[in-house]
């Protein structure tokens, strides 16, 4: 058997386990100026909502130690413009396309997914029940097991392709939410979304974000994400997409050992847009030197004390 | 729009312009031949002490030698670390990025209004205009800053031959006052054939924007914003537009039409 | 009125708002080799348990991006040896001494605090209901409002000096736990303890900690701590001691604006043992340039959007 | 125990010893006069790319000139960054830290066993023994490493005049094999008047420890551990003791009596 980076999630085959994370690669156009999107295992779009959203006023990002805060506020073109203007471009790329969906109510999630169910050109939906930057919806769903199960169940009724549920780290026990998503019928779990945080400008005495708080991402949160992936891997049968602070191939191996079958790269795309390409190159070399045939042989192979 | 290139040139020349200003020339830069005035590059500092890249307007290029120059002032941590890099340091530069200044027609009066570190892209614009055949003496270059120490590259500007008006807040060189004052007088003498180009601190841009709108003068402003990605994917750098929408400073900008942005 | 860094918490006056955090300054002896402890507002001891504990086997720390993981596992001499061997040294320092107490059961917390109540030489107890590194107790208390209220109430019955309750960040809503601690009779809240996280050695495929996971601390977590302090300040009347990633005086101002009346410095002591001294120097200069008479004028003065 | 000092000397001399080994001399170091063989300093790299300080044994001092030398090999990120510092760089050094080697009595046979980068503190010990009047030729210095490239400072050792036995695993210089082999023969010829001193990789220390215990020979081992604080407050660097307890490598160690630590 020849070396392969291929991974399969819920029956969908990915050329490699590296996806770009929601909100960190727009709808793909800008990134495709930097490298051909075929180099990616998959691309996850910015969160799509029923209606277009401007998001919060600037400033809506801030730099932190080994990371950043953002409170973009789900700025997006809305599902109809997305289907009309963005899907055609994405459908033409030879990579897996995952549409991330957010909503302020179960009905909104369901309606967006229903409309998406009618169109081709993408492979999966990722349900964002973990956005820390909106008042209604988002994290509110992802921190309540009952709501989680309900929104997943309702969406599964209207959307027939595989469904990824994206979990929030800002909960007491993420395995409970993971279990609820599984019970609702999720096919795959992705984790983690950003961690609630803030920063203050001591000169103006104002928060550095107009939303007063935001989501912390980047290498700073990698240890948190790894612990949560490991915990959910032990409790839950669904495949896991690891997210949080991934910036190099070694990080991907760490996540896979903890139980992730694939990963998403977010903030690192800002620091170095070529990160995914560098990672897949590194992983290929790793397979070679480790005499492994497939990355699947790593998943969950952490040897705990 | 040109596709941005991820490149690893070296810091070829490091000129200390005094008073915390530096000119850095990088080579070989694949992007050198593609950068137009107004566009910027996004630089990853070779340290993890600052997390994001930092954006710098292109100040000049030498396409033949594949050289690209930026000029910066030490402001915070990022620029301080940048200033400490040794000659020869390997850089990581993404560019060209963003929108460009539109060259004026020959029959337009070009008025360039630079404030502080807003100077470099306008110097590059002036230089390119001249290269394209625009008469140097007809480029009205208003250059304002707090004091003498913030007025850089005077001999270079003299060589270019533009019609230079220097204004400082403390009067330590040139006229005393705000740069928008002589600009206003000039606009009052010249009609709508003027094309305004401006880059500098936000209050100055706002004043220029207002001056121009009141007189229905067209032109462009180059804006700044904190830029996590610099190439359009994060939506972090948006500014509100007068039509109620948002635009990304890194993609639709940094150069916007006068009147477009709600300043 | 002359400039002062003095702050008062639950009636106890501190010379300045800078304390060294539990587990990051031992029982004070080693730190006193580096600077006189009088330079501190206060010192919080390593967590004390009923019986001596060796803690987890090494490795029990790991370096991360702008931070570290630890799973020391509450290694300490036990309350009796602490009272016999450590208090005499601490009692002689002219700084406020806070004894941090941990336990595996309500009874253990109560018993340790009862024994401490009988001795002089320290000013307050800080109840660690948030240690992520032990199987029983610790974080288990700090993530359950009922248990939190109960342990605080029981301890208050046997300990007559002021009681600080130290909160865990690894909960869905920290304001609920803060409320429970207040209801139980806490005098002061301190937050945050470390955030659950892990790291993997990809060569050995083992966790970098024998405890498999640990607590993330250092500048990486500062945004998380700030957001939690701000949230609790809005909901709760108790004074707050801010903890998490503090390394310079600007960080202290950020925490105070968010609502902290004082702070603790932990991990930064490892990177630079002189951090507290540098911070108080910076704060004095800040008062001068800002024309403020007291740091109290900053507390909670964040101007939210 | 001497109190550690937080100090900001400069990197005065930087010697490239080849094959990723470097000798760095810092000055002025307030601690220089206080560092005894076996003690270490904890160095903050002037970058935020690695978070913790890094520990290095003192390799020599010149108290009069307030100079302090360390010798290190590039191993991971920390030492790589250290190796890239320019001469003159301002350092942040905490020390002296940890326990010391106890000098042997005149009538003891001193056997020093160094493995790889465990060499510097033993070189310092030998030098100090000689300074204190111990006859150089009676210092049995066994120096083992993987290959020739890992044997450094040979001429310096020759000057010291110790009885040097070099052992490499590949035989590229000196004896071929493990350093513990000739040590064992030596111990078999000399009795309990021997004092052993060893520093190096853990398997070697374990072997030395066992050799000595079997023969009831006394001596000391210098250990390594990841050290978040280096001065005893974090409890991160502990090693298990044979009596069931834990000891801090940074405080009770790095120098422990043979038999003390459960290796
Ligand atoms: C298009 C463009 C062109 C520019 N051209 C020039 C030029 O030619 N010459 C020049 O001197 N300067 C230029 N700047 C400004 C330059 O990029 C630096 O950001 C600025 O000088 C700040 O300096 P610093 O990095 O030293 O400050 P720092 O103190 O390090 O940063 C300033 C503050 O902004 C925050 N910040 C910095 N970058 C980001 C970001 N990307 N996202 C969120 N927060 C951020 C930091 O956290 C900090 O709070 C330009 C900026 C833009 C956007
Ligand atoms: C007492 C003592 C004396 C030493 N003397 C010398 C000497 O004379 N010469 C020499 O070359 N080396 C010496 N070392 C080793 C040196 O300190 C470096 O740690 C070692 O070389 C690792 O190199 P690095 O920092 O480049 O590796 P890195 O790859 O940067 O670090 C190695 C690994 O250890 C982890 N790590 C590093 N430091 C810590 C820490 N403090 N806490 C937790 N994890 C940590 C890192 O995260 C990484 O996983 C000594 C160590 C000790 C404890
Ligand atoms: C600027 C920015 C915008 C984001 N927008 C979204 C979003 O719209 N929907 C979503 O599910 N996650 C969003 N995220 C979260 C990321 O997808 C990812 O979960 C998180 O950034 C952690 O990964 P990282 O550390 O690799 O960035 C956003 C993150 C950033 C930094
Ligand atoms: C090595 C280490 C040991 C710690 N031990 C304790 C402890 O025994 N009890 C406790 O309440 N907190 C303990 N903490 C948590 C700190 O007191 C503090 O809450 C945390 O480190 C966050 O602050 P920092 O980012 O400034 O380090 C420990 C932290 C570290 C790094
Ligand atoms: S900086 Fe990311 S979109 Fe402009
Ligand atoms: S390194 Fe902190 S106690 Fe030894």
Question: In whole angstroms, what is the distance from residue C208 CA to residue B22 CA?
Answer: 44
Residues D115 and D243 in one domain: yes
Q: Could you tell me if the CB of A246 is within 6 A of ligand 3?
A: yes
> Does residue B263 fall inside a structural domain?
no
Name the pairing type of β-strands B40-44 and B54-57.
antiparallel
pLDDT of residue A2: 63
Domain count, chain B: 2
Residues D185 and D231 in one domain: yes
State the average pLDDT over residues C63-89.
97
Mutate to test the interface with C, among A64, A226, A227, A295 (most CBs of C within 10 A): A227
State the average pLDDT over residues C157-183.
96
Question: What's the A292 CA to ligand 5 centre distance in angstroms?
Answer: 39
DSSP labels for D23-67? EEEEES-TTGGGPPTT-EEEEE-SSSSS-S-EEEE--EEETTTTE
Q: List residues of chain C with CB under 8 Å from any CB of chain D.
A: 23-26, 30-31, 33-34, 46, 54-55, 57-68, 70, 72, 75, 218, 267, 269-274
And the tokens for D256? 């422990």
And the tokens for A20? 């770009």
Question: What's the B239 CA to ligand 5 centre distance in angstroms?
Answer: 11
Strands (DSSP E) contained in chain B are 5-7, 10-18, 21-27, 40-44, 54-57, 60-62, 67-73, 92-97, 109-115, 139-145, 163-168, 175-176, 194-199, 218-222, 238-240, 246-248, 255-257
Question: In whole angstroms, what is the distance from residue D259 CA to residue D263 CA?
Answer: 9
Angle (CA) A236 A238 A239, round 5°: 120
Q: Could you tell me if the CB of D239 is within 6 A of ligand 6?
A: no
Cβ(C270)–Cβ(D228) below 8 Å: yes
Chunked mean pLDDT (size 10), chain B, 263 residues: 89 96 96 95 89 96 97 95 93 96 91 96 97 93 96 94 95 94 91 91 96 94 97 97 96 97 95
D95 touches chain C (CB under 8 A): no
Residues D251 and D162 in one domain: yes
> Does residue B104 fall inside a structural domain?
no
| Residue B227 distance to chain A (closest CA, Å) | 8
The CATH number of whichever domain residue D83 belongs to comes to: 2.40.30.10
Question: In whole angstroms, what is the distance from residue D131 CA to residue D138 CA?
Answer: 14
Query: Which residues have CB under 8 Å from A107's CB, separation 6+?
Result: none
**Ligand 2 nearest-atom number relative to CA D79:** 26
A222-235 and A249-258 helices cross at what angle (nearest 10)?
Answer: 30
Last residue of a domain, one of D75, D97, D119: D97
**Alpha carbons within 13 A on the beta-carbon side of D194:** 26
Interface contact flag, D229 C273, Cβ < 8 Å: yes
| Residue B225 distance to chain A (closest CA, Å) | 9
The CATH number of whichever domain residue B115 belongs to comes to: 3.40.50.80
pLDDT of residue A18: 98
- Domain map of chain A by residue range? 7-56+74-196+217-297
D246 pLDDT above the threshold of 80: yes
Angle (CA) D158 D161 D167, round 5°: 55
Active site residue C236: no
Annotate C135-159 with b (16+ C-beta within 10 A) or e (fewer). eebbbbbbbbbebbbbbbbbbbebb
Interface contact flag, A64 C223, Cβ < 8 Å: yes
Interface contact flag, B233 A33, Cβ < 8 Å: no
Between the alpha carbon of residue A158 and those of residues A107, A149, A161, A163, C53, the distances in Å are: 11, 15, 10, 11, 56
Please report which ligand is nearest the Cα atom of B233: 5
Question: In whole angstroms, what is the distance from residue C265 CA to residue C274 CA?
Answer: 11
**Ligand 4 nearest-atom number relative to CA C22:** 17
- Alpha helices per DSSP H over chain B: 77-83, 119-131, 154-160, 180-189, 202-214
**Among candidate residues B179, B143, B192, the one with its CA nearest the CA of residue B164:** B143
Residues B157 and B231 in one domain: yes
> What ipTM does this complex have?
0.95
| Residue B203 distance to chain A (closest CA, Å) | 17
Residues B32 and B132 in one domain: no
Question: In whole angstroms, what is the distance from residue C107 CA to residue C87 CA?
Answer: 23
Last residue of a domain, one of D77, D97, D117: D97
Residue C20 β-bridge partners: C43, C265
Question: What's the B234 CA to ligand 5 centre distance in angstroms?
Answer: 5
State the average pLDDT over residues D178-204.
92
pLDDT of residue B106: 85
Strands (DSSP E) contained in D125-191 are 139-145, 163-168, 175-176
- Pocket of ligand 4, candidates C266, C268, C269: which has the most ligand atoms within 8 Å of its Cβ, to mutate? C266
**Among candidate residues A179, A148, A160, A169, the one with its CA nearest the CA of residue A217:** A169
Point out the catalytic residue in the list A24, A25, A113, A131. A131
The 3-state DSSP class for residue D246 equals: strand
Q: What percent of chain D has pLDDT over 90?
A: 93
Residue B80 belongs to what domain range? 5-97
> Does residue D104 fall inside a structural domain?
no
Query: Tens of pLDDT along C221-265?
Result: 999 999 999 999 999 999 999 999 999 999 999 999 999 999 999
> Does residue B262 fall inside a structural domain?
no
**Among candidate residues A272, A279, A268, the one with its CA nearest the CA of residue A68:** A268
Question: What's the B43 CA to ligand 1 centre distance in angstroms?
Answer: 11
Residues D87 and D119 in one domain: no
Residues D143 and D202 in one domain: yes
And the tokens for D223? 């250990």
And the tokens for C52? 């001596």
Residues D30 and D134 in one domain: no
Question: In whole angstroms, what is the distance from residue D227 CA to residue D231 CA?
Answer: 9
Query: Could you tell me the end-to-end alpha-carbon distance of chain C, in angstroms, rounded to an integer?
Result: 33
Q: Could you tell me if the CB of B44 is within 6 A of ligand 1?
A: no
> Does residue D172 fall inside a structural domain?
yes
* CATH number of the C7-56+74-196+217-297 domain: 3.20.20.70
Virtual torsion, Cα A173, A178, A180, A186, nearest 10 deg: 170
Question: In whole angstroms, what is the distance from residue C232 CA to residue C238 CA?
Answer: 9
Residue B96 preceded by cis peptide, ω within 30: yes
Length of chain A: 305
Question: In a 10 Å sphere around its CB, with 0-12 CB exposed, 13-18 middle and 19+ buried, how is residue C82 labelled?
Answer: buried
**Among candidate residues A221, A174, A191, A269, the one with its CA nearest the CA of residue A69:** A221
**Alpha carbons within 13 A on the beta-carbon side of D99:** 18
pLDDT of residue D36: 96
And the tokens for B13? 């020349």
Residues B172 and B125 in one domain: yes
Question: In a 10 Å sphere around its CB, with 0-12 CB exposed, 13-18 middle and 19+ buried, how is residue D28 labelled?
Answer: middle
- Location of structure tokens 């036995």: D165
Cβ(D95)–Cβ(D5) below 8 Å: yes
Contacts 24+ apart (CB under 8 A), B33-36: B33/B61, B33/B63, B33/B66, B34/B2, B34/B5, B34/B96, B35/B61, B35/B68, B35/B95, B35/B96, B36/B96, B36/B100, B36/B101, B36/B128
Question: In whole angstroms, what is the distance from residue C167 CA to residue C132 CA?
Answer: 11
Question: Can you give the pTM of this predicted structure?
Answer: 0.96
**Among candidate residues D38, D13, D44, the one with its CA nearest the CA of residue D26:** D13
pLDDT of residue B192: 75
Query: Tens of pLDDT along B193-208?
Result: 899 999 999 999 999 9
Digit-by-digit pLDDT tens for chain A (305 residues) are 467 899 999 999 999 999 999 999 999 999 999 999 999 999 999 999 999 999 999 999 999 999 999 999 999 999 999 999 999 999 989 999 999 999 999 999 999 999 999 999 999 999 999 877 666 666 678 899 999 999 999 999 999 999 999 999 999 999 999 999 999 999 999 999 999 999 999 999 999 999 999 999 999 999 999 999 999 999 999 999 999 999 999 999 999 999 999 999 999 999 999 999 999 999 999 999 999 999 999 999 999 99
B161 touches chain A (CB under 8 A): no
Last residue of a domain, one of B97, B124, B155: B97
The number of helices, as runs of H, and strands, as runs of E, in chain D is 5, 17
């Amino acid at each position: 058997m020849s070396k392969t980076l291929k991974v399969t999630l819920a029956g969908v085959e990915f050329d490699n386990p590296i996806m770009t994370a929601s909100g960190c690669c727009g709808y793909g156009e800008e990134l495709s100026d930097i490298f051909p999107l075929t180099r990616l295992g998959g691309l996850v779009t910015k969160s799509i909502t029923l209606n277009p959203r401007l998001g919060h006023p600037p400033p809506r990002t801030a730099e932190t130690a080994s990371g950043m805060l953002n409170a973009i506020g789900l700025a997006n073109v809305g599902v109809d413009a997305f289907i009309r203007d963005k899907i055609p471009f994405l459908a033409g790329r030879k990579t897996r396309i995952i549409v991330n969906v957010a909503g302020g109510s179960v009905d909104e999630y369901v309606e967006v997914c229903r409309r998406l169910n009618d169109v081709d050109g993408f492979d999966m939906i990722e349900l964002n029940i973990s956005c820390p930057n909106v008042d209604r919806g988002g994290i509110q769903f992802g921190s309540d097991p009952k709501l989680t199960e309900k929104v997943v169940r309702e969406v599964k009724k209207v959307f027939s392709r595989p469904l990824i549920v994206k979990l929030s780290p800002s909960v007491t026990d993420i395995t409970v939410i993971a279990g609820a998503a599984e019970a609702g019928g999720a096919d795959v779990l992705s984790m983690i979304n950003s961690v609630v945080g803030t920063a203050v400008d001591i000169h103006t005495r104002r928060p550095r974000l107009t939303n007063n708080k935001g989501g912390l991402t980047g290498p700073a949160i990698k240890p948190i994400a790894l612990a949560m992936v490991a915990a959910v891997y032990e409790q839950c049968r669904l495949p896991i997409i690891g997210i949080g602070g991934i910036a190099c191939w070694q990080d991907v191996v760490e996540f896979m050992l903890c139980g992730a079958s694939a990963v998403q790269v977010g903030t690192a795309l800002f620091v170095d847009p070529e990160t995914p390409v560098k990672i897949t190159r590194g992983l290929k070399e790793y397979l070679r030197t480790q005499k492994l045939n497939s990355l699947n042989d790593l998943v969950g192979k952490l040897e705990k004390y | 729009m040109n596709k941005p290139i991820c490149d690893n040139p070296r810091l070829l020349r490091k000129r200390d312009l005094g008073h915390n200003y530096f000119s850095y020339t990088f080579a070989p830069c694949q992007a050198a031949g593609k950068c137009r005035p107004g566009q910027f590059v996004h630089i990853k500092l070779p340290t993890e002490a600052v997390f994001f890249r930092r954006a710098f307007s292109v100040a000049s290029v030498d396409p033949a030698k594949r050289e690209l120059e930026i000029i910066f002032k030490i402001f915070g941590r990022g620029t301080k670390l940048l200033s400490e890099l040794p000659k020869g340091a390997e850089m990581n530069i993404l560019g060209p990025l963003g929108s460009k200044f539109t060259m004026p027609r020959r029959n337009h009066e070009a008025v360039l209004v630079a404030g502080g570190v807003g100077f470099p892209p306008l110097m590059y614009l002036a230089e390119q205009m001249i290269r394209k055949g625009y008469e140097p003496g007809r480029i009205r270059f208003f250059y304002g800053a707090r004091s003498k120490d913030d007025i850089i590259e005077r001999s270079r500007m003299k060589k270019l031959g533009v019609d230079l008006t220097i204004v400082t807040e403390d009067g330590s060189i040139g006229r005393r006052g705000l740069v928008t004052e002589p600009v206003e007088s000039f606009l009052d003498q010249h009609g709508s054939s003027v094309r305004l180009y401006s880059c500098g601190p936000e209050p100055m841009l706002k004043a220029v924007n207002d001056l121009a709108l009141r007189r229905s003068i067209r032109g462009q402003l180059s804006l700044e914003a904190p830029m996590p990605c610099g190439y359009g994917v994060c939506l972090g750098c948006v500014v509100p537009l007068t039509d109620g929408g948002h635009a990304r400073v890194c993609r639709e900008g940094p150069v916007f039409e006068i009147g477009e942005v709600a300043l």
